[in-house]
Amino acid sequence: MSNFLLFVCCASRSQLRKRILSSYSFNIFLIYVVYIQFFIKIFAVSIIQFRISIYVLEKLRKFTIYFFYFTLKRSYSINISKNKRICFVIKYVANHFSRV
């Protein structure tokens, strides 16, 4: 992988280099590599830090649900607490998207 990146960075200003650097799949590949390194550093350090990270992710998931819920409530000016069906649907959607 490093040889490929070295080739791309050291290539002359040709059409090939511009095409590789601007391609969608290459950008996705770089983002993928960065995220893999990020998650390895976070989750593979120790079991204690892994448990703390799971706790933080759970808190972020709950915050996402509440943020989504109150944003919709404020933006659409609906009294969501009286309409149980809308409240359930919003919580279900927020819960689903926060786990993805």
The residues, ordered by sequence, that sit 6+ positions from 73 with a Cβ below 8 Å of its Cβ are: 80
Q: Is residue 8 part of a domain?
A: yes
Q: Is residue 67 part of a domain?
A: yes
Q: Is residue 49 part of a domain?
A: no
- 67 and 32 share a domain? no
Rounded to a whole number of angstroms, the CA Rg of the chain reads 22
Q: Is residue 82 part of a domain?
A: yes
Q: Are 81 and 75 in contact (CB under 8 A)?
A: no
- 65 and 37 share a domain? no
Number of structural domains in the chain? 2
Q: Is residue 50 part of a domain?
A: no
- pLDDT (0 to 100) of residue 60: 72
- 71 and 39 share a domain? no
The answer to whether the Cα torsion of 57, 63, 66, 69 is positive or negative is negative
| 24, 82, 97 from 65: Cα distances, Å | 32, 18, 9
- 28-86 pLDDT, tens digit per residue, is 666 666 666 666 666 666 656 666 667 777 777 777 766 666 666 555 555 555 555 55
- 36 and 62 share a domain? no
- 13-25 pLDDT, tens digit per residue, is 555 555 555 555 5
- 30 and 63 share a domain? no
- pLDDT (0 to 100) of residue 62: 73
Boundaries of domain holding 15:
1-44
Give 59-77 as a DSSP string: HHHHHHHHHHHHHHHHHHT
